[in-house]
């Protein structure tokens, strides 16, 4: 019986040492080879996609990220279909998003989603410039949105939960 306890204790100690002395931290995506790290703002220089363009940029340079994002979305319409016949919204000059009014042509004066800041986000194997927004019309506990414009001009909107599996809306953006 004592021999079995010694063997079991030795195995437990070996397992403990293997886990505690491991080089990689399984909770740190930069150390474990995880390339789908999601949101980043850590100050890494990356080549990011924004619309049909790409650029190498430091991810902690909020001034540059804002310049790129607002330059991409300012005064652009978002369409509901690929034939660009129905406008669903418009970004203003500051990057805020407005729903389209009853005339189906001009944006409502009220801000639907307020531009907050930018981060980078990995989606479909590419790193995109993403805008973080606050949705003024959302009744959910979290009204944050993560928006990217992919290389085909499709607006990908991530709602509340930071998971593309939950409530994703796509809009088509002409000229991105």
Q: pLDDT by residue (tens digit) across 132-160? A: 999 888 776 678 888 888 888 888 876 55
| Structural domain of 113 | 44-173
* 30 lies in some domain: no
What pLDDT is stored for residue 67 in this prediction?
96
* 151 lies in some domain: yes
Write the DSSP string, 89-157: EEE-TTS-EEEB-TTSSSB-SS-SEEEEEEEEEEETTEEEEEEEEEETT--SS--EEEEEE-TTSEEEE
154-159 and 144-149 strand pairing = antiparallel
Residue 105 buriedness (CB in 10 A; 0-12 / 13-18 / 19+): exposed
What pLDDT is stored for residue 66 in this prediction?
96
Kindly tell me the sign of the dihedral angle through the C-alpha atoms of 15, 21, 25, 31. Answer: negative
What pLDDT is stored for residue 17 in this prediction?
58
Q: How many domains does the chain have?
A: 1
* 19 lies in some domain: no
Q: In what helix (H) or strand (E) does residue 55 lie, and over which residues does it extend?
A: strand 53-58
What pLDDT is stored for residue 8 in this prediction?
65
Angle value at C-alpha 162, between 41 and 77, nearest 5 degrees: 85
* 153 lies in some domain: yes
* 17 lies in some domain: no
* 21 lies in some domain: no
* 70 lies in some domain: yes
Q: pLDDT by residue (tens digit) across 41-99? A: 567 899 999 888 999 999 889 999 999 999 999 999 988 877 778 888 999 999 999 99
Q: What is the pTM of this model?
A: 0.67
What pLDDT is stored for residue 137 in this prediction?
82
* 105 lies in some domain: yes
């Amino acid at each position: 019986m004592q021999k079995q306890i010694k063997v079991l204790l030795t195995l437990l100690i070996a397992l403990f040492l293997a886990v505690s002395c491991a080089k990689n931290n399984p909770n740190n995506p930069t150390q474990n080879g995880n390339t789908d790290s999601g949101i980043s703002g850590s100050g890494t220089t990356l080549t990011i996609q924004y619309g049909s363009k790409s650029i190498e940029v430091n991810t902690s340079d909020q001034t540059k990220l804002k310049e790129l994002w607002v330059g991409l979305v300012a005064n652009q319409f978002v369409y509901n279909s690929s034939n660009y016949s129905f406008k669903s919204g418009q970004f203003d000059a500051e990057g805020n998003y407005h729903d389209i009014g009853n005339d189906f042509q001009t944006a409502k004066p009220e801000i639907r989603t307020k531009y907050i800041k930018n981060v980078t986000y990995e989606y479909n194997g590419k790193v995109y410039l993403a805008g973080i927004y606050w949705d003024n019309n959302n009744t959910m506990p979290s009204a944050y949105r993560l928006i990217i414009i992919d290389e085909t001009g499709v607006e990908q909107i991530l709602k509340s939960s930071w998971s593309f599996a939950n409530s994703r809306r796509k809009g088509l953006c002409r000229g991105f």
